[in-house]
Chain A
Amino acid sequence: MSNRPQHFNLTFKPIGHSALLIEWPQQIEETILNDILNLQSRIEHELKDIIVETINAYNSLTLIYKHEVVSRDQLEDEIKKIYAVKSQAVTQQKKIWYIPVCYDKEFGIDLEEIAQLKKCDPNEIIKLHSSIEYLIHFIGFLPGFLYLGGLPESIHVPRKSTPRIQIKKGAVAIGGKQTGIYPSESPGGWNIIGNSPLNFFSPNQNPPCFAKAGDLLKFYSIKKSEHQQIATEVENGSFKIEYEIR
Protein backbone atom coordinates (compact mmCIF):
# COMPACT_ATOMS: atom_id res chain seq x y z
CA MET A 1 0.00 0.00 0.00
CA SER A 2 1.48 3.30 -1.02
CA ASN A 3 -0.56 6.02 0.52
CA ARG A 4 0.02 9.61 -0.47
CA PRO A 5 3.35 10.38 1.15
CA GLN A 6 2.60 13.96 1.98
CA HIS A 7 -0.43 16.12 2.42
CA PHE A 8 -0.10 19.68 1.21
CA ASN A 9 -2.00 22.78 2.15
CA LEU A 10 -3.99 23.58 -0.95
CA THR A 11 -5.37 27.03 -1.74
CA PHE A 12 -8.41 27.59 -3.94
CA LYS A 13 -8.92 30.70 -6.08
CA PRO A 14 -11.55 31.44 -8.72
CA ILE A 15 -10.56 32.45 -12.26
CA GLY A 16 -13.82 33.96 -13.47
CA HIS A 17 -17.15 32.18 -13.06
CA SER A 18 -16.28 28.77 -14.47
CA ALA A 19 -12.66 28.03 -13.54
CA LEU A 20 -11.10 27.12 -10.22
CA LEU A 21 -7.37 27.31 -9.55
CA ILE A 22 -5.91 24.92 -6.97
CA GLU A 23 -2.40 25.79 -5.82
CA TRP A 24 0.33 23.81 -4.10
CA PRO A 25 3.40 25.35 -2.40
CA GLN A 26 5.45 27.37 -4.89
CA GLN A 27 8.18 24.83 -5.62
CA ILE A 28 9.25 22.73 -8.59
CA GLU A 29 9.32 19.28 -6.98
CA GLU A 30 8.51 15.75 -7.96
CA THR A 31 6.45 15.09 -4.80
CA ILE A 32 4.25 18.08 -5.68
CA LEU A 33 3.96 16.95 -9.29
CA ASN A 34 2.88 13.46 -8.21
CA ASP A 35 0.33 14.87 -5.78
CA ILE A 36 -1.12 17.13 -8.53
CA LEU A 37 -1.32 14.27 -11.04
CA ASN A 38 -2.94 12.01 -8.45
CA LEU A 39 -5.62 14.56 -7.59
CA GLN A 40 -6.09 15.42 -11.28
CA SER A 41 -6.76 11.84 -12.28
CA ARG A 42 -9.17 11.31 -9.35
CA ILE A 43 -11.08 14.51 -10.18
CA GLU A 44 -11.29 13.55 -13.86
CA HIS A 45 -12.63 10.16 -12.80
CA GLU A 46 -14.94 11.05 -9.91
CA LEU A 47 -16.26 14.45 -11.06
CA LYS A 48 -16.41 13.84 -14.81
CA ASP A 49 -20.03 15.05 -15.03
CA ILE A 50 -19.21 18.54 -13.78
CA ILE A 51 -15.64 19.05 -15.03
CA VAL A 52 -15.04 20.24 -18.60
CA GLU A 53 -11.25 19.99 -18.46
CA THR A 54 -8.28 20.11 -16.11
CA ILE A 55 -4.94 21.85 -16.71
CA ASN A 56 -1.88 21.06 -14.61
CA ALA A 57 1.31 23.11 -14.22
CA TYR A 58 4.34 23.13 -11.84
CA ASN A 59 2.36 23.78 -8.67
CA SER A 60 -1.21 24.20 -9.81
CA LEU A 61 -4.24 22.46 -11.17
CA THR A 62 -6.94 24.49 -12.94
CA LEU A 63 -10.42 23.08 -13.35
CA ILE A 64 -12.88 24.33 -15.95
CA TYR A 65 -16.31 23.34 -14.64
CA LYS A 66 -19.95 23.52 -15.62
CA HIS A 67 -21.03 26.52 -13.55
CA GLU A 68 -24.64 25.92 -14.54
CA VAL A 69 -24.51 22.54 -12.75
CA VAL A 70 -22.31 23.18 -9.74
CA SER A 71 -21.40 26.25 -7.67
CA ARG A 72 -17.79 27.07 -6.88
CA ASP A 73 -18.36 26.39 -3.17
CA GLN A 74 -19.89 22.99 -3.89
CA LEU A 75 -17.02 22.11 -6.21
CA GLU A 76 -14.45 23.19 -3.64
CA ASP A 77 -16.14 20.97 -1.03
CA GLU A 78 -16.15 18.00 -3.40
CA ILE A 79 -12.44 18.42 -4.10
CA LYS A 80 -11.57 18.78 -0.42
CA LYS A 81 -13.46 15.54 0.23
CA ILE A 82 -11.59 13.74 -2.52
CA TYR A 83 -8.24 15.11 -1.31
CA ALA A 84 -8.96 14.16 2.32
CA VAL A 85 -9.61 10.51 1.51
CA LYS A 86 -6.34 8.69 1.95
CA SER A 87 -7.02 6.36 -0.91
CA GLN A 88 -4.22 4.56 -2.56
CA ALA A 89 -2.71 6.72 -5.22
CA VAL A 90 -4.13 6.10 -8.65
CA THR A 91 -0.91 4.64 -9.95
CA GLN A 92 -0.16 6.09 -13.31
CA GLN A 93 2.13 4.01 -15.40
CA LYS A 94 5.28 6.07 -15.83
CA LYS A 95 7.37 5.77 -18.93
CA ILE A 96 10.81 6.93 -19.94
CA TRP A 97 10.94 8.09 -23.56
CA TYR A 98 14.13 7.99 -25.66
CA ILE A 99 14.26 10.98 -27.96
CA PRO A 100 16.65 11.13 -30.94
CA VAL A 101 18.43 14.47 -31.34
CA CYS A 102 20.89 15.54 -33.99
CA TYR A 103 23.34 17.94 -32.33
CA ASP A 104 25.20 18.58 -35.60
CA LYS A 105 26.12 22.26 -36.03
CA GLU A 106 23.72 22.48 -38.96
CA PHE A 107 20.93 22.20 -36.35
CA GLY A 108 22.73 23.20 -33.14
CA ILE A 109 23.30 26.76 -34.28
CA ASP A 110 24.07 28.10 -30.80
CA LEU A 111 26.18 25.20 -29.56
CA GLU A 112 29.51 26.81 -30.47
CA GLU A 113 28.59 30.03 -28.66
CA ILE A 114 27.51 28.15 -25.53
CA ALA A 115 30.76 26.16 -25.58
CA GLN A 116 32.74 29.42 -25.69
CA LEU A 117 30.66 30.86 -22.85
CA LYS A 118 31.21 27.73 -20.74
CA LYS A 119 34.85 27.40 -21.86
CA CYS A 120 34.43 23.79 -22.87
CA ASP A 121 34.12 21.55 -25.91
CA PRO A 122 30.67 21.39 -27.61
CA ASN A 123 30.85 17.60 -27.23
CA GLU A 124 30.88 17.93 -23.44
CA ILE A 125 27.64 19.91 -23.60
CA ILE A 126 26.08 17.29 -25.87
CA LYS A 127 27.25 14.50 -23.55
CA LEU A 128 25.84 16.18 -20.47
CA HIS A 129 22.57 17.23 -22.12
CA SER A 130 21.93 13.68 -23.32
CA SER A 131 22.92 11.99 -20.05
CA ILE A 132 20.00 13.23 -17.96
CA GLU A 133 16.59 11.68 -17.35
CA TYR A 134 14.39 14.77 -17.49
CA LEU A 135 11.05 14.86 -15.70
CA ILE A 136 8.03 16.09 -17.70
CA HIS A 137 6.24 18.52 -15.37
CA PHE A 138 3.49 19.59 -17.75
CA ILE A 139 2.68 20.50 -21.34
CA GLY A 140 1.99 24.15 -22.17
CA PHE A 141 3.05 27.25 -24.14
CA LEU A 142 2.57 25.60 -27.57
CA PRO A 143 0.64 22.44 -28.46
CA GLY A 144 2.99 19.64 -27.40
CA PHE A 145 5.66 21.75 -25.65
CA LEU A 146 7.01 19.73 -22.71
CA TYR A 147 8.18 21.54 -19.57
CA LEU A 148 11.22 19.47 -18.53
CA GLY A 149 12.90 19.51 -15.13
CA GLY A 150 16.47 18.46 -14.44
CA LEU A 151 18.81 20.52 -16.65
CA PRO A 152 22.24 20.50 -14.93
CA GLU A 153 23.25 23.92 -13.62
CA SER A 154 26.54 23.82 -15.54
CA ILE A 155 24.63 24.17 -18.82
CA HIS A 156 22.14 26.83 -17.76
CA VAL A 157 22.38 29.53 -20.45
CA PRO A 158 20.56 32.91 -20.39
CA ARG A 159 17.93 33.42 -23.09
CA LYS A 160 18.96 35.42 -26.14
CA SER A 161 18.48 39.16 -25.68
CA THR A 162 16.64 39.32 -29.02
CA PRO A 163 14.36 36.37 -29.73
CA ARG A 164 14.54 34.77 -33.16
CA ILE A 165 11.53 35.38 -35.41
CA GLN A 166 11.43 31.76 -36.51
CA ILE A 167 12.70 28.63 -34.84
CA LYS A 168 12.47 25.32 -36.70
CA LYS A 169 10.06 22.61 -35.68
CA GLY A 170 11.87 20.06 -33.52
CA ALA A 171 14.56 22.51 -32.31
CA VAL A 172 16.07 21.36 -29.01
CA ALA A 173 17.02 24.37 -26.94
CA ILE A 174 18.18 25.73 -23.60
CA GLY A 175 16.52 28.82 -22.08
CA GLY A 176 17.82 29.83 -18.67
CA LYS A 177 17.34 26.87 -16.31
CA GLN A 178 15.17 24.95 -18.75
CA THR A 179 15.56 22.75 -21.77
CA GLY A 180 12.84 21.90 -24.26
CA ILE A 181 11.82 21.01 -27.79
CA TYR A 182 9.90 23.40 -30.07
CA PRO A 183 7.00 21.20 -31.28
CA SER A 184 6.21 23.53 -34.17
CA GLU A 185 7.76 26.48 -35.97
CA SER A 186 7.62 29.43 -33.59
CA PRO A 187 9.39 32.62 -32.57
CA GLY A 188 11.60 32.04 -29.54
CA GLY A 189 14.50 33.25 -27.43
CA TRP A 190 16.11 30.00 -26.37
CA ASN A 191 19.58 28.80 -27.42
CA ILE A 192 19.33 26.07 -30.03
CA ILE A 193 21.60 23.05 -29.63
CA GLY A 194 20.02 20.42 -31.88
CA ASN A 195 16.92 19.06 -33.58
CA SER A 196 14.63 16.08 -33.07
CA PRO A 197 12.79 14.63 -36.08
CA LEU A 198 9.79 13.47 -33.97
CA ASN A 199 6.26 14.90 -33.83
CA PHE A 200 5.46 16.09 -30.32
CA PHE A 201 1.86 16.97 -31.18
CA SER A 202 -0.20 14.85 -33.57
CA PRO A 203 -3.61 16.44 -34.14
CA ASN A 204 -4.97 13.26 -35.73
CA GLN A 205 -4.35 11.19 -32.61
CA ASN A 206 -6.19 11.38 -29.31
CA PRO A 207 -4.42 12.04 -27.02
CA PRO A 208 -2.31 14.15 -29.39
CA CYS A 209 0.89 13.80 -27.33
CA PHE A 210 2.76 10.51 -26.81
CA ALA A 211 4.31 11.74 -23.56
CA LYS A 212 2.44 12.93 -20.49
CA ALA A 213 3.18 14.83 -17.32
CA GLY A 214 5.03 12.61 -14.83
CA ASP A 215 6.88 10.66 -17.55
CA LEU A 216 10.65 10.86 -18.01
CA LEU A 217 12.54 11.75 -21.16
CA LYS A 218 16.15 11.13 -22.24
CA PHE A 219 17.82 12.45 -25.37
CA TYR A 220 20.24 10.40 -27.48
CA SER A 221 22.58 11.75 -30.10
CA ILE A 222 22.09 10.81 -33.75
CA LYS A 223 23.96 11.60 -36.96
CA LYS A 224 22.61 13.85 -39.71
CA SER A 225 21.92 10.83 -41.92
CA GLU A 226 19.92 9.17 -39.11
CA HIS A 227 17.94 12.37 -38.58
CA GLN A 228 16.95 12.27 -42.24
CA GLN A 229 16.09 8.57 -42.04
CA ILE A 230 13.95 8.96 -38.89
CA ALA A 231 12.21 12.04 -40.34
CA THR A 232 11.17 9.90 -43.33
CA GLU A 233 9.94 7.09 -41.06
CA VAL A 234 8.01 9.59 -38.89
CA GLU A 235 6.43 10.97 -42.05
CA ASN A 236 5.20 7.56 -43.25
CA GLY A 237 4.21 6.46 -39.75
CA SER A 238 6.67 3.58 -39.41
CA PHE A 239 8.91 5.07 -36.71
CA LYS A 240 8.35 3.66 -33.21
CA ILE A 241 9.51 5.90 -30.38
CA GLU A 242 11.47 3.83 -27.88
CA TYR A 243 10.35 3.76 -24.27
CA GLU A 244 10.56 1.71 -21.11
CA ILE A 245 8.09 1.40 -18.28
CA ARG A 246 9.33 2.64 -14.95
Chain B
Amino acid sequence: MNDFVEVISPGLFSTIQDQGRFGFRKYGSPTAGVMDEQSAALANHLLNNPSGSPVLEITMTGPKLLFSTSTLISIAGADISPKLNEHSISINKVIAIQKGDILSFGALRYGCRCYLAIKDGFQTEYILNSYSYFSNITTNNRIKKGDQLPIKKHVAKQSHFSTVKIDDEFFKTINIKCSKGPEYHLVSNSEIVFQSNFSISNDSNRMGYRLDGPAIPYPTAFEMLTSSVLPGTVQLTPSGQLIILMKDCQTTGGYPRILQLTTDGINKLSQKKAADLVALVLQE
Protein backbone atom coordinates (compact mmCIF):
# COMPACT_ATOMS: atom_id res chain seq x y z
CA MET B 1 0.00 0.00 0.00
CA ASN B 2 1.90 3.01 1.26
CA ASP B 3 5.42 1.82 0.73
CA PHE B 4 8.41 3.90 1.60
CA VAL B 5 12.09 4.20 2.35
CA GLU B 6 12.59 5.33 5.95
CA VAL B 7 15.51 7.55 6.87
CA ILE B 8 17.23 6.05 9.93
CA SER B 9 20.04 8.60 9.70
CA PRO B 10 20.29 11.28 6.99
CA GLY B 11 24.05 11.45 6.32
CA LEU B 12 25.69 14.78 5.53
CA PHE B 13 23.34 16.22 2.92
CA SER B 14 20.97 14.20 0.77
CA THR B 15 18.16 15.53 -1.40
CA ILE B 16 15.59 14.23 -3.85
CA GLN B 17 16.39 15.57 -7.32
CA ASP B 18 15.08 15.09 -10.85
CA GLN B 19 16.10 16.82 -14.07
CA GLY B 20 15.17 20.20 -12.56
CA ARG B 21 12.41 22.75 -12.37
CA PHE B 22 12.03 24.49 -15.72
CA GLY B 23 9.89 27.50 -16.55
CA PHE B 24 10.14 29.31 -13.23
CA ARG B 25 13.47 31.15 -13.41
CA LYS B 26 11.55 34.28 -14.42
CA TYR B 27 9.87 34.13 -10.99
CA GLY B 28 13.25 33.84 -9.29
CA SER B 29 13.05 30.07 -8.78
CA PRO B 30 16.32 28.19 -9.39
CA THR B 31 16.40 25.21 -11.73
CA ALA B 32 17.77 22.82 -9.07
CA GLY B 33 17.93 19.19 -10.29
CA VAL B 34 20.71 16.60 -10.15
CA MET B 35 24.21 18.10 -10.14
CA ASP B 36 25.83 15.26 -12.14
CA GLU B 37 23.29 14.44 -14.86
CA GLN B 38 25.43 11.67 -16.34
CA SER B 39 25.69 9.59 -13.16
CA ALA B 40 22.03 10.13 -12.25
CA ALA B 41 21.01 9.08 -15.77
CA LEU B 42 23.10 5.91 -15.47
CA ALA B 43 21.42 5.01 -12.17
CA ASN B 44 17.97 5.48 -13.74
CA HIS B 45 18.94 3.75 -16.97
CA LEU B 46 20.02 0.59 -15.15
CA LEU B 47 16.47 0.28 -13.76
CA ASN B 48 14.79 1.19 -17.07
CA ASN B 49 13.34 4.25 -15.38
CA PRO B 50 12.48 7.22 -17.58
CA SER B 51 15.53 9.50 -17.62
CA GLY B 52 15.04 12.30 -15.13
CA SER B 53 13.13 10.13 -12.65
CA PRO B 54 13.62 11.45 -9.12
CA VAL B 55 16.68 10.01 -7.38
CA LEU B 56 18.36 10.58 -4.02
CA GLU B 57 21.48 12.72 -4.41
CA ILE B 58 23.90 11.84 -1.61
CA THR B 59 26.84 14.08 -0.75
CA MET B 60 30.09 12.51 0.57
CA THR B 61 28.59 10.82 3.65
CA GLY B 62 25.71 8.46 3.06
CA PRO B 63 22.44 8.00 4.91
CA LYS B 64 21.11 4.82 6.52
CA LEU B 65 17.84 3.75 4.91
CA LEU B 66 15.23 1.09 5.70
CA PHE B 67 13.01 -0.34 2.93
CA SER B 68 9.38 -1.13 3.77
CA THR B 69 8.92 -3.31 0.68
CA SER B 70 10.71 -5.18 -2.07
CA THR B 71 12.07 -3.16 -4.96
CA LEU B 72 15.12 -2.68 -7.18
CA ILE B 73 17.75 -0.01 -6.66
CA SER B 74 20.93 1.10 -8.35
CA ILE B 75 23.69 3.40 -7.19
CA ALA B 76 25.94 5.42 -9.53
CA GLY B 77 28.34 8.36 -9.30
CA ALA B 78 30.65 8.67 -6.29
CA ASP B 79 31.63 5.45 -4.53
CA ILE B 80 30.67 5.82 -0.86
CA SER B 81 31.15 2.10 -0.03
CA PRO B 82 27.46 1.14 0.01
CA LYS B 83 26.37 -1.82 2.14
CA LEU B 84 23.15 -3.81 2.20
CA ASN B 85 22.50 -5.32 5.64
CA GLU B 86 26.17 -4.66 6.45
CA HIS B 87 27.48 -6.51 3.35
CA SER B 88 29.29 -4.49 0.67
CA ILE B 89 27.41 -4.10 -2.60
CA SER B 90 28.54 -2.96 -6.03
CA ILE B 91 27.72 0.38 -7.55
CA ASN B 92 26.68 0.73 -11.22
CA LYS B 93 24.57 -2.40 -10.85
CA VAL B 94 20.94 -3.27 -10.14
CA ILE B 95 20.41 -4.59 -6.61
CA ALA B 96 17.28 -6.48 -5.51
CA ILE B 97 15.87 -5.25 -2.20
CA GLN B 98 13.66 -7.20 0.19
CA LYS B 99 11.28 -5.79 2.76
CA GLY B 100 13.24 -4.82 5.90
CA ASP B 101 16.61 -4.44 4.14
CA ILE B 102 18.91 -1.68 5.38
CA LEU B 103 21.13 0.31 3.02
CA SER B 104 24.06 2.13 4.56
CA PHE B 105 27.29 3.70 3.38
CA GLY B 106 30.92 3.77 4.47
CA ALA B 107 34.06 5.60 3.39
CA LEU B 108 34.12 7.89 0.36
CA ARG B 109 36.41 6.17 -2.17
CA TYR B 110 36.12 8.64 -5.06
CA GLY B 111 33.86 11.42 -6.34
CA CYS B 112 31.61 13.64 -4.23
CA ARG B 113 27.96 12.88 -5.09
CA CYS B 114 26.30 9.52 -5.52
CA TYR B 115 22.85 8.80 -6.89
CA LEU B 116 20.47 6.25 -5.45
CA ALA B 117 17.80 5.41 -8.02
CA ILE B 118 14.81 3.26 -7.20
CA LYS B 119 12.51 1.33 -9.52
CA ASP B 120 9.84 3.81 -10.83
CA GLY B 121 11.49 6.69 -8.97
CA PHE B 122 10.83 8.25 -5.55
CA GLN B 123 7.19 9.37 -5.23
CA THR B 124 7.79 12.46 -3.10
CA GLU B 125 5.94 15.76 -3.53
CA TYR B 126 5.81 17.23 -7.02
CA ILE B 127 5.79 21.03 -6.96
CA LEU B 128 5.98 23.43 -9.91
CA ASN B 129 6.66 20.60 -12.36
CA SER B 130 9.51 19.02 -10.41
CA TYR B 131 10.40 16.71 -7.53
CA SER B 132 13.65 18.58 -6.83
CA TYR B 133 14.05 19.72 -3.23
CA PHE B 134 14.58 23.43 -2.72
CA SER B 135 14.06 25.67 0.35
CA ASN B 136 10.71 27.47 0.41
CA ILE B 137 9.49 25.55 -2.64
CA THR B 138 9.35 21.96 -1.40
CA THR B 139 8.43 21.20 2.22
CA ASN B 140 11.90 19.78 2.91
CA ASN B 141 15.24 20.96 1.63
CA ARG B 142 17.08 17.77 2.63
CA ILE B 143 16.14 14.36 4.00
CA LYS B 144 16.04 14.09 7.77
CA LYS B 145 15.78 11.34 10.37
CA GLY B 146 12.35 9.72 10.39
CA ASP B 147 11.33 10.83 6.88
CA GLN B 148 9.40 8.22 4.94
CA LEU B 149 10.11 8.69 1.24
CA PRO B 150 7.25 7.11 -0.75
CA ILE B 151 8.16 4.43 -3.32
CA LYS B 152 6.33 1.77 -5.36
CA LYS B 153 6.56 -1.93 -4.60
CA HIS B 154 8.33 -3.98 -7.23
CA VAL B 155 8.92 -7.72 -7.26
CA ALA B 156 12.06 -8.64 -9.17
CA LYS B 157 11.75 -11.37 -11.82
CA GLN B 158 15.45 -12.10 -11.71
CA SER B 159 18.07 -12.02 -8.99
CA HIS B 160 21.29 -11.71 -10.96
CA PHE B 161 22.33 -8.45 -12.58
CA SER B 162 25.53 -7.47 -14.33
CA THR B 163 27.72 -4.51 -13.40
CA VAL B 164 28.26 -1.68 -15.89
CA LYS B 165 31.89 -0.72 -16.35
CA ILE B 166 32.38 3.04 -16.20
CA ASP B 167 35.33 5.08 -17.43
CA ASP B 168 37.07 6.32 -14.28
CA GLU B 169 38.62 9.18 -16.26
CA PHE B 170 35.29 10.92 -15.58
CA PHE B 171 36.23 11.15 -11.89
CA LYS B 172 40.00 11.52 -12.29
CA THR B 173 40.31 14.28 -14.86
CA ILE B 174 40.93 17.79 -13.58
CA ASN B 175 39.84 19.31 -16.90
CA ILE B 176 36.51 21.13 -16.86
CA LYS B 177 35.25 22.15 -20.28
CA CYS B 178 33.69 25.54 -20.90
CA SER B 179 32.88 28.09 -23.59
CA LYS B 180 33.21 31.89 -23.62
CA GLY B 181 30.59 33.74 -21.59
CA PRO B 182 28.85 37.04 -22.47
CA GLU B 183 31.52 39.15 -20.69
CA TYR B 184 34.55 37.09 -21.76
CA HIS B 185 35.99 40.17 -23.50
CA LEU B 186 36.63 41.69 -20.06
CA VAL B 187 39.28 39.08 -19.29
CA SER B 188 42.58 40.87 -19.79
CA ASN B 189 44.82 37.91 -19.06
CA SER B 190 43.41 34.65 -20.37
CA GLU B 191 46.64 32.79 -19.53
CA ILE B 192 45.90 33.03 -15.80
CA VAL B 193 42.43 31.62 -16.39
CA PHE B 194 43.39 28.71 -18.61
CA GLN B 195 46.90 27.82 -17.50
CA SER B 196 46.35 27.75 -13.76
CA ASN B 197 45.13 24.95 -11.60
CA PHE B 198 42.45 26.03 -9.15
CA SER B 199 41.55 24.36 -5.92
CA ILE B 200 37.93 23.92 -4.85
CA SER B 201 37.20 26.09 -1.83
CA ASN B 202 35.50 24.80 1.34
CA ASP B 203 32.73 27.20 0.56
CA SER B 204 31.29 25.09 -2.28
CA ASN B 205 27.87 23.53 -2.50
CA ARG B 206 24.85 23.02 -4.77
CA MET B 207 24.57 26.80 -5.26
CA GLY B 208 28.10 27.35 -6.43
CA TYR B 209 31.75 26.35 -6.32
CA ARG B 210 34.34 28.92 -5.35
CA LEU B 211 37.80 28.41 -6.81
CA ASP B 212 40.99 29.27 -4.95
CA GLY B 213 43.89 30.23 -7.16
CA PRO B 214 45.80 33.17 -8.59
CA ALA B 215 43.85 36.43 -8.59
CA ILE B 216 42.45 37.32 -12.00
CA PRO B 217 42.53 41.03 -12.89
CA TYR B 218 39.06 42.53 -12.47
CA PRO B 219 38.11 44.98 -15.21
CA THR B 220 38.25 48.63 -14.22
CA ALA B 221 35.52 51.08 -15.17
CA PHE B 222 33.15 48.25 -15.79
CA GLU B 223 29.42 48.49 -15.29
CA MET B 224 26.85 45.82 -15.76
CA LEU B 225 23.18 45.73 -14.91
CA THR B 226 21.92 42.66 -13.05
CA SER B 227 21.21 40.01 -15.68
CA SER B 228 20.46 36.33 -15.83
CA VAL B 229 22.94 33.65 -14.79
CA LEU B 230 22.62 29.90 -15.29
CA PRO B 231 23.99 26.72 -13.77
CA GLY B 232 27.54 26.52 -15.14
CA THR B 233 28.03 30.28 -15.39
CA VAL B 234 31.55 31.29 -14.26
CA GLN B 235 31.52 34.68 -12.55
CA LEU B 236 34.57 36.84 -11.93
CA THR B 237 34.28 38.65 -8.58
CA PRO B 238 35.89 42.02 -7.74
CA SER B 239 38.43 40.19 -5.53
CA GLY B 240 39.67 38.34 -8.61
CA GLN B 241 38.14 35.01 -7.60
CA LEU B 242 36.06 32.74 -9.78
CA ILE B 243 32.66 31.43 -8.70
CA ILE B 244 31.10 28.67 -10.76
CA LEU B 245 27.34 28.68 -10.32
CA MET B 246 25.70 25.29 -9.93
CA LYS B 247 22.17 23.88 -10.04
CA ASP B 248 20.72 25.75 -7.02
CA CYS B 249 22.18 29.10 -8.09
CA GLN B 250 20.26 32.35 -8.04
CA THR B 251 18.57 33.35 -11.27
CA THR B 252 20.29 36.71 -11.69
CA GLY B 253 23.65 38.26 -10.85
CA GLY B 254 25.75 41.33 -11.46
CA TYR B 255 29.29 40.00 -11.85
CA PRO B 256 30.89 39.48 -15.28
CA ARG B 257 29.96 36.08 -16.72
CA ILE B 258 33.28 35.22 -18.27
CA LEU B 259 32.76 31.52 -19.06
CA GLN B 260 29.99 28.95 -19.27
CA LEU B 261 30.63 25.33 -18.36
CA THR B 262 29.39 22.64 -20.74
CA THR B 263 26.97 20.05 -19.37
CA ASP B 264 29.92 17.63 -19.21
CA GLY B 265 31.88 20.29 -17.29
CA ILE B 266 29.07 20.69 -14.74
CA ASN B 267 28.81 16.89 -14.37
CA LYS B 268 32.54 16.49 -13.71
CA LEU B 269 32.79 19.49 -11.40
CA SER B 270 29.87 18.07 -9.36
CA GLN B 271 32.11 15.13 -8.46
CA LYS B 272 34.85 17.42 -7.05
CA LYS B 273 35.05 18.28 -3.37
CA ALA B 274 36.93 20.84 -1.28
CA ALA B 275 40.70 20.94 -2.03
CA ASP B 276 40.37 18.99 -5.31
CA LEU B 277 42.15 20.59 -8.27
CA VAL B 278 40.52 21.68 -11.50
CA ALA B 279 41.66 23.38 -14.71
CA LEU B 280 39.37 25.27 -17.05
CA VAL B 281 39.57 24.20 -20.69
CA LEU B 282 38.12 26.36 -23.43
CA GLN B 283 36.16 24.36 -25.96
CA GLU B 284 35.58 26.10 -29.27
Known contacts A15-B181, A141-B28, A142-B28: A57-B226 contact under CB 8 Å: yes
The answer, yes or no, to whether A10 is at the interface (CB within 8 Å) is no
A14 vs B252: C-alpha distance when bound (angstroms):
16
B225:A15 contact, CB within 8 angstroms: no
Number of interface residues of A (CB under 8 A): 40
Chain A contact residues: over half helix, strand or loop, or mixed?
A: loop
Contacts of A23 in B (CB 8 A): 182, 227
B23:A26 contact, CB within 8 angstroms: no
Contacts of A64 in B (CB 8 A): 22, 25, 230
Write the A49-60 contact mask toward B (1 if CB under 8 angstroms, else 0). Answer: 000111111111
The answer, yes or no, to whether B191 is at the interface (CB within 8 Å) is no
Contacts of B128 in A (CB 8 A): 203, 206, 208
A14:B136 contact, CB within 8 angstroms: no
Chain B contact residues: over half helix, strand or loop, or mixed?
A: loop
Contacts of A6 in B (CB 8 A): none
B28:A57 contact, CB within 8 angstroms: no
A60 vs B223: C-alpha distance when bound (angstroms):
14
Number of A-B contacts (CB under 8 A): 115
Write the A28-50 contact mask toward B (1 if CB under 8 angstroms, else 0). Answer: 10000000000000000000000
Q: How far is the CB of B222 from chain A (nearest CB, A)?
A: 11
Beta-carbon nearest neighbor of B136 in chain A: A184
The answer, yes or no, to whether A219 is at the interface (CB within 8 Å) is no
B interface, size bucket: 35 or more
The answer, yes or no, to whether B109 is at the interface (CB within 8 Å) is no
A52 vs B24: C-alpha distance when bound (angstroms):
10
Question: Which one of A74-82, A90-98, A104-112, A143-151 contacts B?
Answer: A143-151
The answer, yes or no, to whether A234 is at the interface (CB within 8 Å) is no
Contacts of B53 in A (CB 8 A): none
A207:B181 contact, CB within 8 angstroms: no
Known contacts A14-B179, A52-B22, A140-B250: A57-B227 contact under CB 8 Å: yes
A140:B226 contact, CB within 8 angstroms: yes
A58:B28 contact, CB within 8 angstroms: no
The answer, yes or no, to whether B237 is at the interface (CB within 8 Å) is no
Please tell me which one of the listed residues A62, A138, A139, A203 contacts residue B136 in the complex, with CB atoms under 8 A apart. Answer: A203
Residue in B30, B128, B228, B230 whose Cβ sees the most chain A Cβ within 10 Å: B228
- B:233-284 near A, CB below 8 Å: 233, 250-252, 257, 260-263
The answer, yes or no, to whether A16 is at the interface (CB within 8 Å) is yes
The answer, yes or no, to whether A99 is at the interface (CB within 8 Å) is no
A143:B137 contact, CB within 8 angstroms: yes
**Given A60-B225, A62-B227, 5 further pairs, Cβ under 8 A:** A15-B182, A57-B225, A57-B252, A60-B228, A145-B28
Q: List 16 A-B contacts (CB under 8 A).
A: A14-B179, A14-B260, A15-B257, A15-B260, A16-B232, A21-B182, A26-B223, A53-B23, A54-B26, A57-B227, A64-B230, A140-B250, A141-B252, A144-B27, A206-B128, A208-B27
| Chain B residues near A (Cβ < 8 Å) | 22-30, 127-128, 135-138, 179, 181-182, 223-228, 230, 232-233, 250-252, 257, 260-263
Closest 5 CB pairs of A and B: A140-B252, A16-B260, A62-B228, A58-B225, A55-B228
